[in-house]
Structure 1
Amino acid sequence: MTDFETERRILIVDDLTQIHETFTRIFRTTKRKENDLDDFEARFLSDATVTYPSHSTSSPVFSLTHAYSGEEAVHEVQKSIDGAIPFSVAFVDMRMPKGMDGLETIKRLWRIDPRLQVVICTAYSDHTWDQIVQSLGYNDQLLLLRKPFEHDEARQLALALSEKSRLAVLQAQKLTILKTEVMRRRKAEMELRDMAHRDALTALPNRPFLLEKLEQVIANQGPKRRSHDSILFLDLDNFKIINDSLGHDAGDDLLNQVAIRLQECVREHDLASRCSDAEDSVSESNGDETVRLGGDEFVVLLEGLEHRDDALRVARRIVQRICEPFNLDDRLVTVGTSVGVAFVDESISDAHEALRNADTAMYQAKNSGKGQIAVFDQTMHDAVVARHELEAQLRVALKEEKFELRYQPIVNLKNGQIQGVEVLSRWRGGDGEFVPPCEFVPVAEEIGLISQFGEWVLERSMREFSALMASLDDAQRPQVYLAVNISRRQLADPFFIDRLQAIIDRAKFKGALKLEMSENGDARHNERTLKTMLELHHSGVGIHIDDFGKGNSSLTCFHDYPIETVKIDRTFTASITRDHGHAIITQAIVKLAHHLLATIVCQGVESPEQLKLLQQWGCDLGQGYFFAPPLDIFELESLLIKPDESVGIKVLKQSIAAPLHLPAATGSLPGLPASS
């Protein structure tokens, strides 16, 4: 059955039985075959072998319900609505002496079913159209059928109005479906937006959410604002160790627990004493947020602080809370955190700048030690900018080989001969001034260029030194070793020795090679570093400990490493003539090294008085401006040919020629300055 042929429910409301019988005859469904003409054509006008299909038409199917009063009509309509089978059209007689008249009946029916199509059946003497409209109002669901009426007129009204009703129902259904789909899509969009602004692991808001929130906070800034907004940027100390030792599942568990603790810190502060420790100074929260940026980095956004110190109170609370042990799979682990604090005010241009300031302060706190808090100021940003500029220049300088090498002699204090030279790297920055190695070498280590830089220095110095030695005749050529500084990271590389041998082969270096390294290094690489040092020692390459006493020096290096020589830092040498404590420490190091069969080099020798004390203590070698400053390869050649041109070497040889007169025992070690 087509949509047009679907059953149309019609309500007949009239108090006369004859009228109901008339409507029954009008809407009786009949089917008429229309094949008479086809039979005639088949018999007289067409080929008898051709078969013509018969056609039939079906009238619309009407289902009538009869109501003999207005009250009964109301009951039927209510029942149809309750059963979800509403009427399409109601034919309502206007004049019904018993009970409600037609107008009142229509009003009651529309209260129950506002979509019901109504045909008023009225005689000319009942009501005028103006009276009907005045009572019922203008309505496109209302038509007038004057009595007496034709059967086809009633059927056509019923057909048109029922079709209109059916289409209205379909439209309402489609509208409902459309509304449902819109709501579903809106919900999906909200869920996607929430997912896009939530960290998948901790369910905390993420970086995009934070940036949007910060833009709102910045928009509210102004000179008249009395409260303060701040960002706390933090990351976990030693988180990588947890991941490496216990696995990434444990690391994820730790991050979830950290997120919970951070939320507790903010919630406790917000509800208890957000702006002060005093109860009467608590201010209303504007919505603190804890955000995970990724990895082990978190951000806490504090809004509407009454005092700036409140941000520091929250930061201290976070540091204390995070330092408490975490339970990871029945194992207690302890991590710390470093916190950077940055305030958001009218000077901040955008969210990225605000977040960058807090990040900068966090790194400042981290560099100050674990569990520290730092508040951002402009000098921090300036230092970061300078650091990045230095890094960029360093990459270019390494690519274009803009470094220069200098060589500083190392002199034997017992015979006055130049025994070795240390290679020192020099680099002119963009302003043409030399950048100290203590500034650019750590940067090279941090950005992963130290191996490339160190190998360039090795190969370049070997080539220059080999060419210098080859240019001297046998009488002029001294037995001098070449000492090159290397990083502990290079020694931790399992392929370092192979690359070193390749460099030696390319440079055709045949002299004695010494590698100088600082004692400080990453403890996790000790085993690999020690293995490399032992292999170097067995191959004839000497290992020197540089700048001993400058950092966290330990006497275990004499026992743990195959040390050939220890170089005492220049800070000790510079003060041995005036600082009794440094003098005692320096002499003790010399004696200890000799007992352990190591050679001692004192750096920073700059005066005859220092030289005299070092000689008396039995120091083996000396290095410093008193003998010669760092020289280029041509100046070094001249010094090797004529060493007596060095004032220090000349004084040293004269002191060796003259007998030493040691002072009598006076209760202090020989040669030490009297303690003040």
Structure 2
Amino acid sequence: MSYEKLVLNKVTNQKDILIIDDTADNLRVLSSILTKQGYSVRKALNWQMALMACKTVLPDLILLDIMMPEVDGYEVCQRLKTLDITADIPVIFMSALGDVFDKVKAFGVGGVDYITKPFELEELVVRVQSQLALRTAQQEILNLNTKLEHKVKERTSELETSVNKLQQEMKRRKHLQSKLLEMALHDPLTKLPNRTLFIKKLEKALQRAKLESDYGFAVLFLDCDRFKIVNDSLGHFVGDELLIAIARRLQASLNPKDTLARFGGDEFAILLEKITDIRMAINAANAVLQQLSVAFQLSRHEVFINASIGIIWGESHYEQPEYLLRDADTAMYRAKALGKGRYHVFDPAMHQEAMQLLQLEHDLRIGVERKEFFVQYQPIVSLKTGRISGFEALVRWQHPVRGLIPPTVFVPIAEETGLIGAIDTWVLQSACYQLRIWQNHPKTETSLTMSVNLSAGLFSHLDIVTAVDKILDETQVNPACLQLEITESVIMENTETLKIILQQLKDRKIRLIMDDFGTGYSSLSYLHSFPFHALKIDKSFVRRMQENQQNMGLVPATIGIAHSMGMNAIAEGVETPEQLAQLRSMNCDLAQGYLFSKAVDPELALDLIAAVPQW
């Protein structure tokens, strides 16, 4: 075991599990299940990623899918068993293949267990626990055997005790597994079919579609919007009551021959059989949405809830029912992304997008470790003097293969994965160090400012005030020269906590700017509650100023709002002299854009400062 692995186990006391599966949704579901059980979970899409993961941190257990392109699970297992570092790691195969030959082959290449998909949550957890317990016991036995060379008589009883405990534990685990395999095929809360029964019916429908050319079916995958808010605010008892009511409402909107199942949480699936085209599935989805649009009258509360629905037509080319569910789930998430409370029909391109997104998430984690990011700086110009008053720090990701990836692509992924804290903190630190260097230059004004964007995810992943204090102390930058830009979306979440954070930053003389003002819907109702110093006008409004007089009205209105509240107005995206003249006539305070300069490296920014340009 590597030194890093020993340190990791000592600090976290977590068992590390590596999941190897080329299906993004399988990785997401398995990772979620095992993470909730307290395990440290990593993911790999193929053999190359799996080998890199093992070399980085040696896992305690590997969950390995059989059906993978290029290098299948059997070959992956054989390769792992030939390597000294991975030869002893237990491998549990996962596959929808349930034939005895497949299981024998799995054990023949070195697997220690075999889980047939679809698997039950409890069965998966128990099998993982069993193999981890077995591996731990085996390691204990090896240690005992080493010591037996010198103290055979003293350690014999201990070895027998350990073996006996292991045998008893294995018997208990096998007994529990037997019980789990006999579990009912219905959800205990709603009494609907569960995932296992649904997949069995879906498998039969798929087989029938392969045999009968005139047989059609479709799957609807449904996830309730805002259910977590109801559950967290009103309690799990009300949440369970609502789930039961939703199940009954869904049943009322379907035909008796259709199958409705609860997959767990607030997820439901519907199998529509003997339908002729996708329009019938769309009509069913509309009927479901119509049913859910009416308020739920619960015992003590009236609750409104809606759902996002993914639709997949039952094409006969699908090899496994799980693939149909995967694509229906992908379509459901697209419906959520488009605004929720709607349906979306699966397009094959969506699966490829999901795979690319997963790969990008993996690359982003590596990029943070390898420091593949850099910062460029765009000047901010005072429209009163025409000179540079400061710079905005803009992060860039230089991917080693894909080249330059824009922040609009990787920042949302960083926020979702929790990597945004490390990225934003690094950008803030780099920008402050750079500002200190510039301010020490003889041709630079000491009042030069530095603007840094803070992503929404940073406020939930990090103690931002403490982080800012530490950076200011390290860089010795005057807080009055630091400007933090925050988007409207941030103030919509946990506003009371945010007020406290922003006030603490203001108390340190740091200037606060609301970025992209006017692109959201909450600006005016929330603006007076927060201690902002300036509003940044989104470039889309600046771009439309010259199109017609109605569009121009948005910019002077925003400038007027800012000035009426004692704030400055900053226009971004200024590209033409005409736009600059218009902004000056409206008494806009500051501006930035390609008319002045694009974002440049620190050295070019210093040359720009030294040139003392004036617009």
Aligned partner (choices 528, 533, 549) of residue 564 of structure 1:
533
Name the one with the larger helix percent.
2
Pairing 1:444-463 to 2, within 5 Å after superposition? 444-463=414-433
Q: Which amino acid aligns with 1:261?
A: R
Pairing 1:477-556 to 2, within 5 Å after superposition? 477-491=445-459, 495-510=463-478, 512-521=481-490, 523-552=492-521, 554-556=523-525
Pairing 1:584-595 to 2, within 5 Å after superposition? 584-595=553-564
Partner residue, 1:237: 225
Q: Which amino acid aligns with 1:564?
A: H
2:186 corresponds to 1:219: no
2:541 corresponds to 1:610: no
2:413 corresponds to 1:413: no
Q: Distance in 1 between matches of 2:355 and 2:475?
A: 38
Q: Is the 8 A contact 1:323 1:337 kept in 2?
A: no
TM-superposition CA deviations, 1:183-229 (whole Å, max 9, x none): xxxxx999966634222322222222222322222222238511211
Change (3 A) 1:422 1:387: same
| Structure 1 position 307, deviation (Å) | 3.2
Q: Is the 8 A contact 2:332 2:344 kept in 1?
A: yes
Change (3 A) 1:191 1:313: farther
Q: Which of structure 1's runs of 4+ aligned residues deviate more than 6 A?
A: 188-192
Q: Distance in 1 between matches of 2:547 and 2:186?
A: 64
Change (3 A) 1:198 1:596: same
Aligned partner (choices 395, 401, 405) of residue 435 of structure 1:
405
Give the unaligned 5+ runs of structure 1. Answer: 1-187, 271-284, 653-676
Instruction: Describe the SS at the equivalent of 2:489.
Output: coil
Q: Is the 8 A contact 2:224 2:306 kept in 1?
A: yes
Pairing 1:66-465 to 2, within 5 Å after superposition? 195-222=183-210, 225-266=213-254, 269-270=255-256, 285=257, 288-465=258-435
Q: Which amino acid aligns with 2:593?
A: G
| Structure 1 position 531, deviation (Å) | 1.4
Q: Distance in 1 between matches of 2:590 and 2:301?
A: 53
Q: Which amino acid aligns with 1:591?
A: G
Q: Distance in 2 between matches of 1:434 and 1:548?
A: 27
Aligned partner (choices 591, 606, 611) of residue 622 of structure 1:
591
Q: Distance in 1 between matches of 2:556 and 2:581?
A: 13
Q: Distance in 2 between matches of 1:499 and 1:235?
A: 37
Q: Is the 8 A contact 2:491 2:526 kept in 1?
A: no
Instruction: Describe the SS at the equivalent of 1:225.
Output: coil
TM-score (norm 1): 0.62
| Structure 1 position 637, deviation (Å) | 1.1
Change (3 A) 1:333 1:208: same
Change (3 A) 1:228 1:191: farther
2:566 corresponds to 1:578: no
| Structure 1 position 493, deviation (Å) | 6.2
Change (3 A) 1:608 1:222: same
Q: Distance in 1 between matches of 2:491 and 2:235?
A: 21
TM-superposition CA deviations, 1:208-255 (whole Å, max 9, x none): 222232222222223851121111100111111111111111111111
Instruction: Describe the SS at the equivalent of 2:307.
Output: strand
Change (3 A) 1:315 1:522: farther
| Structure 1 position 544, deviation (Å) | 0.3
Q: Distance in 1 between matches of 2:397 and 2:233?
A: 41
TM-superposition CA deviations, 1:425-472 (whole Å, max 9, x none): 1113354432221121122222222222211211122223323333x1
Give the unaligned 5+ runs of structure 2. Answer: 1-175
Q: Distance in 2 between matches of 1:476 and 1:554?
A: 35
Change (3 A) 1:412 1:191: closer
Q: Is the 8 A contact 2:572 2:591 kept in 1?
A: yes
Instruction: Describe the SS at the equivalent of 1:560.
Output: coil
Q: Distance in 2 between matches of 1:638 and 1:564?
A: 29
Q: Is the 8 A contact 2:418 2:457 kept in 1?
A: no
Instruction: Describe the SS at the equivalent of 2:268.
Output: strand
Q: Which amino acid aligns with 1:230?
A: A
Q: Distance in 2 between matches of 1:223 and 1:478?
A: 79
2:607 corresponds to 1:638: yes
Q: Which amino acid aligns with 1:504?
A: L
Aligned sequence identity (%): 34
| Structure 1 position 476, deviation (Å) | 3.8
2:587 corresponds to 1:599: no
Instruction: Describe the SS at the equivalent of 2:398.
Output: coil
Q: Is the 8 A contact 2:542 2:571 kept in 1?
A: yes
Higher mean C-alpha deviation, range 475-484 or range 568-577: 475-484
Q: Which amino acid aligns with 1:304?
A: K
Higher mean C-alpha deviation, range 483-492 or range 531-540: 483-492
| Structure 1 position 481, deviation (Å) | 0.8
Q: Is the 8 A contact 2:559 2:588 kept in 1?
A: yes
Q: Which amino acid aligns with 2:416?
A: E
Q: Which amino acid aligns with 1:201?
A: L
Q: Is the 8 A contact 1:494 1:532 kept in 2?
A: no
Q: Distance in 1 between matches of 2:548 and 2:363?
A: 40
| Structure 1 position 520, deviation (Å) | 2.0
Higher mean C-alpha deviation, range 590-599 or range 234-243: 590-599
Q: Which amino acid aligns with 2:189?
A: L
| Structure 1 position 478, deviation (Å) | 4.3
TM-superposition CA deviations, 1:641-662 (whole Å, max 9, x none): 1122xxxx3xx2xxxxxxxxxx
Change (3 A) 1:505 1:435: same
Q: Is the 8 A contact 2:415 2:458 kept in 1?
A: no
Q: Is the 8 A contact 1:227 1:307 kept in 2?
A: no
Change (3 A) 1:557 1:437: same
Q: Distance in 1 between matches of 2:300 and 2:559?
A: 51
Q: Which amino acid aligns with 1:227?
A: Y
The number of equivalent residue pairs is 439
Q: Is the 8 A contact 2:450 2:483 kept in 1?
A: yes
| Structure 1 position 405, deviation (Å) | 0.4
Change (3 A) 1:642 1:191: closer
